[in-house]
Amino acid sequence: MHIMEGYLPPMHAAIWHAASLPFLGWGIWRLSKTIKENPESRLLLGACGGYAFVLSSLKLPSLNGSCSHPTGIGLGAVIFGPPAMIVTGFAVLFFQAALLAHGGFTTLGANMFSMAIAGSFISYGVFHAGKKLALPLNVAVFFAAFAGDLGTYIVTSIQLALAFPDSQGGYTGAMLKFLSVFAVTQLPLALSEGFLTVLVMNMLRKFAPEEILKLNSALKGDSK
Amino acid sequence: MTKQNIALLAAVILLGVIPVLMHWNSKDENLFTGADDKAGKTIESINPDYKVWAEPVFEPAGELASLLFALQAAIGAGLLGYAIGYYRGRHKSVNPGKETGKNA
């Protein structure tokens, strides 16, 4: 679900780079602070980063006969907050642009904005909204990962529509076209990502409760 | 594994298998191609004059692509598995006697 190399006009590419760069700087600064304050959280960060690496390498088949991959951003965004996953998302996108011809450097800013930045803030926001609504913890985690995944492709569709307005339908017409490409593909994948994230969260909360609660006290168990 | 975890895993597997079964007899040559490419085609249909102005710096040829994708998955799974294994071992040694594999 990344925008391919060269598929954004130079002006748009530049603007998205400019929009993402401050977030990356902020993310690095906040994350290094978190690690300094909680040195024992490094292994957990490795787990969340590893999760994002695996998930974004899994190109899963979807109902409409095309393939796309989940993002894996939700888990870390819920545990660590957005800064950690902005940095991790950057690492994943850089790796894929440099070695896999997946995404690209001209579109790195835009892809970062949709996946690493919007994706982690959506996941983080949905999780805390879910807790406010007194949803069971696992349900809140599920919706956080689900919405982060889905939100990423919605932002991607907006980015593409802004760059390529439809001659008849204008911006909204173009956005609907891009959404229809991603929507059917991404919906089942977002469900998968939601389920998997709950599964991994269950294990981490069971085996490393102190580390998790220190980073996000809202992850205190209510299930069982 | 708890019952919930098993159910979650089963749901993920089902969500992967159903699309394959649905398209079992499909002759479509573009079956299970990437959504990114389809977005690229949509761009071309909206704006046929658009010129792609940058190419990937490095495009892995042939099997090299699968190697690098597998490498990415291996790095990620290695990290995740190491961390969960470490925490599980520690959890077990702190709570001896309890069966940690099951939800006691």
List, in order of start, the domains of chain A with CATH numbers.
10-219 (1.10.1760.20)
Q: How far apart are CA B16 and CA A131, in angstroms?
A: 30
Residues B5 and B47 in one domain: yes
Give A65's pLDDT tier (boundaries 50, 70, 90): confident
- Interacting residues of B16 by C-beta distance below 8 A, sequence separation 6+: A60, A61, A192
* β pairing state of A66-68 and B33-34: parallel
Q: How far apart are CA A3 and CA A12, in angstroms?
A: 12
Question: What residues make up the domain containing B14?
Answer: 1-54
B46 and B3 share a domain? yes
Q: What percent of chain A has pLDDT over 90?
A: 90
pLDDT at A222: 63
Residue A39, exposed/middle/buried by CB under 10 A (0-12, 13-18, 19+)? exposed
**pLDDT tier, B98 (very low <50, low <70, confident <90, very high otherwise):** low
Residues B35 and B75 in one domain: no
Tell me: pLDDT of A224 over 50. Answer: no
Percentage of chain A lying above the pLDDT 70 cut: 98
Under 8 Å between Cβ of A194 and A165: no
Same domain for B45 and B3, yes or no, is yes
A98 closest CB neighbour out of B30, B57, B78: B57
Shared domain for B3 and B49, answered yes or no, is yes
**What is the predicted pLDDT for the residue at A182?**
85
Whole-number Å distance between alpha carbons of A131 and A47: 23
Counting the structural domains of chain B, the total is: 2
As a whole number of Å, the CA-based R_g of chain A is 17
What pLDDT does B36 receive?
86
Contacts of B4 in chain A (CB under 8 A): 138, 202, 223
Same domain, B50 and B13: yes
pLDDT cut 90: percent of chain B above it:
60
Determine the Cα angle at A122 with ends B3 and A57, to 5°.
65
Domain assignment of residue B100, yes or no: no
Cβ-based contacts under 8 A for chains A and B? 201
Q: Is residue B101 part of a domain?
A: no
Query: What pTM, to 2 d.p., does this model score?
Result: 0.93
Which residues have C-beta within 8 Å of that of residue A219, sequence separation ≥ 6? A78, A79, A137, A201, A205, A212, A213
**ipTM value:** 0.91
Regarding whether B73 and B44 lie in a shared domain, the answer is: no
Note whether B32 and B78 are same-domain residues: no
Residue B102 lies in a domain: no
Instruction: Give me the residues of A, 117-176, that contact B with CB < 8 A.
Output: 138, 156, 160, 164-167, 174
Same domain, B45 and B11: yes
- B36 and B75, same domain (yes or no): no
Q: Does one domain contain both B7 and B33? A: yes
Residue B87: inside a domain = yes
User: Does residue B95 register a pLDDT over 90?
Assistant: no
